[in-house]
Chains A and B, each alone.
Chain A
Amino acid sequence: MKTKKIARLSLLTAIALIIFIIELRIPDLLPIPGAKLGLANIITVYAVYKYNARETILLVITRVILGSLFGGNVSAIMYSMAGAMFCLICMLLIRRIIPLNFIWLSSVIGAILHNTGQILMAILLMRSFAVLSFYPFLIITGTIAGAFTGLCAQYIIKRHIPDKTVEK
């Protein structure tokens, strides 16, 4: 990997972390564990469409680990990681069939899978299916939040920030 690329990826990770930390300050709107805006995923969606699979996975893993350290909730790392991986793998798979105008859809699917991963992890860790009753709530909140972050990412991607201004 070129130095230039490493620098750019770390810059993206830093932006995602800043968004993540600012979002922590926003009080939870709903008393449902796992339901949140996920604004940091704007960067994830952006990376999925601008970088290759390996680089995106690296970026997301770094963000999740550092994010849970900064957020002060390391015990939640299992949930975040399971969600992020589910979401990422699916978004990378459907990247080819989704045109530029439907990136928000890819983000919605990613958000739903993120919640699916979290729920599966919770079932595994708690050895109980009680958390499954949150799933429909999470699908609804995930769809709305995913559409919003997806639209944000879509506008950024379509604007096409030229690489040269960064390289100089």
Chain B
Amino acid sequence: MTKSVKVLLVSVLLLFIGSVIAVIIIVRKPKGTYVEIVQNNEIIYSFDLSEEKNRTFRIAGQQGGWNEVRIEDGKISITDADCPDHTCVKAGVLRSENIPIVCLPHKLVIRFADKEQK
């Protein structure tokens, strides 16, 4: 085991431990219920989840394609999309402040936001 290997091993280990700590910090319950839907870095919808009625609506992508968003009992999720990977659908309900629901092919982000930003 040479010195350079040791250096690399230790740095990878530190990075790994750092990420575990970061993940623990990230996965926390959200404080607010204020949500915004961002497409192509522009906020297209913003609302308070606790005041929203249960409903399902589609968001059309700018280069075609769509995502079906459902609001149910104060929870928001993407239920269907025509992208090939369906990562946004598998992400399920928006839970954490720090983990948005992201649809990379349609450049769509659903995330919690501060009320003050309005």
Contact = CB atoms under 8 A, between A and B. Distances in A.
A130 B19 contact: no
A108 B20 CA distance: 16
Interface in A50-86: 72-73, 75-76, 79
B85 A99 contact: no
A143 interface: yes
Interface residues of A, number: 33
Interface of B: 1-2, 4-5, 8-9, 12, 15-16, 18-20, 22-23, 26, 38, 41, 84-85, 87, 90-92, 98-100, 102, 104-105, 107, 109, 111
Interface of A: 28, 31-33, 72-73, 75-76, 79, 94, 97-99, 102, 105, 108-109, 112, 122, 125-128, 130-131, 133-137, 139-140, 143
Given A33-B104, A105-B8, A122-B104, 5 more contacts: A105-B12, A112-B12, A126-B107, A136-B22, A143-B19
